[in-house]
Structure 1
Amino acid sequence: MTVKDLARLTPSGYPAVSLLMPTHRTPPENQQDPIRLRNLLSEAKRRLDDDEAVPQSVATQVYEEIAEAAAHVDLRQVSEGLALFASPGQVHVRLLDSPVQERVVVGNTYEVRDVVADAARRHRYWALVLSEQPTRLWSGDGADLVEVHSHGFPFTHEGPGGTTGLPRDYGQRPSAHRDERHRQFFRDITSALAEIDALDSRPVFVLGVERYLAFFADEWGRPIAGAVRGNYDRAGPHDVYRVLAQQLDAHTSIQQVAALEALDVARGANRFAAGLAEVWTLANQGRAAHLLVEEGFHSAAWVHGDHLHPPDQEPHRDEPGTLVDDAVDDIVEMVARNDGNVTFVRDGNLAADGRIALIVRY
């Protein structure tokens, strides 16, 4: 799911259960994770059973769905957090690179703020390894890569010119026939990749020998985020990430520079806002076109209506304010939910703007 998809994640109905917990990579802390997860599942079951608005059959169904999803999570392979969402007939699991506050929430909507902010901070991409036997597609999320097995991937060139070879009666120009078969092979690959990218658009990185890269570029017909020359037919996920790491860093830097340049243009056109309080108000109004945030910026704050106050200044008005643990994550969710873009930039790039800035729509 994209950041915007996550921001709009909608339960199938009531009850919508959100279970979030911090996780740990190494012992001894990670030895407690299975116990904490069992305790949170017990808490979810108790709340479902005690909710008079939930028929017992529905409470049992939703609990079994979220418990089964939890049973398939390998807590030895997690990072900083885990999020489970379930409603009747629906369940979602997300492993997070950012720590979360431990909680179970039963309501009409999912508690997706932490998940959306975590997804926005991560660098997701497609890594396509070109080969005749076979071409493989990897879904990349930082250093984590998972092979795609859909839309025809992995692709193997099994026709003439591929595994079966060219017939002897192909005439005086067998290389031309071989090239045409290769073009058709890579045409099928680009069509399948285009379908996948339409569902989840990401930067595309390509690995392969020079000849295959040329065939792919001719058929793809759109910008490629990076290309690595060489034979990587037998490369596993760690190998693919290792050879792509430098290209990924360069692409991220280019994206950040482009976002900062766009911010300067917006500043000159008076379509610019800066600082946590002003950005919060405009994002809450749905006016955010592009949010820029420093990677290490987090801030608690008091929320009073559509206004934000520093954490040490509780608003003294007729209605009490609400203290949120991280207003930055809330802003990221609001922007994504309203079709805005989010770019995290390196710490210090927005020092003069209060570490957060916004390009507004109007």
Structure 2
Amino acid sequence: MLKDELSIMQQKATRAPYVTIIVSFHETPPLDKKAALLLSEKAIREADEFLQKMYPKEATSLLESLRALLDDFDQHYDLTVEGLGFYVSPGYSRLVKFFFPVQKKVDIGDAFSMRELLYLEHYATKYMLVHLNEKSFHCYKGRLSSLEEINDGTFPWLFRDNYEYNQPARAGSYSGQAVVQGVEGDKSTNEANRLKTFYREADELLSAHLQDMPLVVVGPEKDISRFQEVSAHQKNIVATVKGNYSNVPQKELETRAWPVVRSWIDESQQSYMLQLMEEEWQHHAVDGMRDVWNAVNEGRGYRLIVEKDYTCPAFIDDKTGKLHLRSTKKPHQIIIDAVDEVLRLAVEKGGDIVFVNNGTLDNHGHISLITRY
């Protein structure tokens, strides 16, 4: 669920009730399809019980939409998902797959729950992956756990040795093959030099696709080392995966690569926390749900930093819009999760969202806001 898709969801889903069901497979055996379907079915039944009580007129059609989404997942089961999101309202339905741990949730109200969708955006960084060995150099565009191989007449870049000519070593034309010609000499030294030439050429061609994106390098350890010796893109390399995946389905390569990409994203996002400790930011930061709520409502939010699973039941004064963390005698509207609402407000007002690991913001009330002023 990327930003443009989230915008489409908000445009098409225009009528309440909005049903959000989050199903967690994190503790389910990864290959147990039956258990995953049973957990989803149980959550749908739980939602149906609420719908029958709260929205009896819409309950039947919404239940049909939920079951249709579950049937689709059954037919296109994905072993790599760690959770599902069912998003249904009158005239709209969407199933979202999560490739990271999520918490079980059944939410029915005036808007879809936003947290998991925004967290999916948190992981939606574009990256490049190259899979190399002594015979070939394959290049992929990556986002989340999906890889798309580049086949553009240049990639895959193939290696071919030619010893038929007694000429100085040189690279062949860029036609999808690297032809290295040379004089037979010390076998191991020549082989290493030829491979470095091969990887250097591939690295130069990679520039047109890579730009400033992070890069993951996959291959046998010795080949990764040779590539790193000659690559001009050292600063882009964020992770390496050792192993030869030339003769396995692409899904296995995706399954092996995604965890290291996810770990890199988590680590890089944590660096945002350093801003809270830098002196120049101290007078621009507010902590805790109540102060963060007020600042976001005033349009002062620049970057909202929140722990991944932090929740905060709260109440809103109908007249003043003031947030109360405890019930008052004044008229109020119950908010099931104030965090979800403040996330929505921050997005609407153009603020950035940064998720951090649970416990990271213990000294900041679990939520903090870098303000514009």
TM-score class, shorter-chain normalisation, is 0.5 to 0.7
Contact 2:140–2:147 under 8 Å retained in 1: yes
* Cα deviation, residue 103, structure 1: 4.7
Contact 1:129–1:206 under 8 Å retained in 2: yes
Contact 2:275–2:281 under 8 Å retained in 1: no
Matches within 5 A, 1:177-192: 178=178, 185-186=202-203, 189-192=206-209
Of the candidates 235, 256, 265, which is equivalent to residue 278 of structure 2? 265
1:93 equivalent in alignment to 2:96:
yes
Structure 1 unaligned residues grouped into runs of 5+? 52-58
1:210 equivalent in alignment to 2:211:
no
- Corresponding residue of 2:112: 111
Matches within 5 A, 1:109-148: 111-119=112-120, 126=127, 128-131=129-132, 133=136, 135-137=138-140, 139=142, 141=144, 145-148=145-148
CA displacement, residues 217-244 of structure 1 (integer Å, 9 cap, x when unaligned): 53x59x4251427553437666776678
Q: Which moved more, 1:300-309 or 1:178-187?
A: 178-187
Output the CA distance in 1 between the equivalents of 2:49 and 2:335: 26
Output the CA distance in 1 between the equivalents of 2:50 and 2:336: 22
* Cα deviation, residue 101, structure 1: 3.2
CA displacement, residues 63-99 of structure 1 (integer Å, 9 cap, x when unaligned): 9987654422147845344223578798553447323
* Cα deviation, residue 175, structure 1: 4.3
1:307 equivalent in alignment to 2:322:
yes
Which secondary structure state, in structure 2, belongs to the residue aligned with residue 72 of structure 1? Answer: helix
Output the CA distance in 2 between the equivalents of 1:117 and 1:237: 25
* Cα deviation, residue 270, structure 1: 1.5
Output the CA distance in 2 between the equivalents of 1:50 and 1:250: 47
Q: Aligned pair in 2 of structure 1 residues 267, 273: CA closer, same or farther (>3 Å)? A: farther
Q: Aligned pair in 2 of structure 1 residues 203, 267: CA closer, same or farther (>3 Å)? A: same
- Corresponding residue of 1:54: none
1:232 equivalent in alignment to 2:233:
no
Output the CA distance in 2 between the equivalents of 1:347 and 1:153: 46
Q: Aligned pair in 2 of structure 1 residues 279, 32: CA closer, same or farther (>3 Å)? A: same
Contact 1:6–1:115 under 8 Å retained in 2: no
Q: Aligned pair in 2 of structure 1 residues 361, 112: CA closer, same or farther (>3 Å)? A: same
Of the candidates 284, 287, 297, which is equivalent to residue 310 of structure 2? 297
With normalisation by structure 1, the TM-score equals 0.66
Output the CA distance in 1 between the equivalents of 2:163 and 2:90: 57
**How much identity, in percent, do the aligned residues show?**
16
1:174 equivalent in alignment to 2:185:
no
Q: Aligned pair in 2 of structure 1 residues 274, 13: CA closer, same or farther (>3 Å)? A: closer
Which secondary structure state, in structure 2, belongs to the residue aligned with residue 207 of structure 1? Answer: strand
CA displacement, residues 296-336 of structure 1 (integer Å, 9 cap, x when unaligned): 432211123543211xx22443xx32222222232233334
Alignment length, in residue pairs? 329
- Corresponding residue of 2:342: 331
1:252 equivalent in alignment to 2:253:
no
Contact 2:141–2:149 under 8 Å retained in 1: no
Matches within 5 A, 1:16-35: 18-25=18-25, 26=28, 30=36, 32-33=38-39, 35=41
Which secondary structure state, in structure 2, belongs to the residue aligned with residue 281 of structure 1? Answer: helix
Which secondary structure state, in structure 2, belongs to the residue aligned with residue 280 of structure 1? Answer: helix
Whichever residue aligns with residue 273 of structure 1, its letter is V
Structure 2 unaligned residues grouped into runs of 5+? 179-195
Output the CA distance in 2 between the equivalents of 1:255 and 1:175: 41
Q: Aligned pair in 2 of structure 1 residues 249, 33: CA closer, same or farther (>3 Å)? A: closer
Q: Which moved more, 1:90-99 or 1:167-176?
A: 167-176
- Corresponding residue of 2:351: 340
Output the CA distance in 2 between the equivalents of 1:361 and 1:2: 25
- Corresponding residue of 1:55: none
Q: Which moved more, 1:33-42 or 1:223-232?
A: 33-42
Compare relative contact order (CA 8 Å, sep 6+) and give the higher one, 1 or 2.
1
Contact 2:15–2:90 under 8 Å retained in 1: yes
Output the CA distance in 2 between the equivalents of 1:242 and 1:85: 33
Output the CA distance in 2 between the equivalents of 1:151 and 1:184: 17
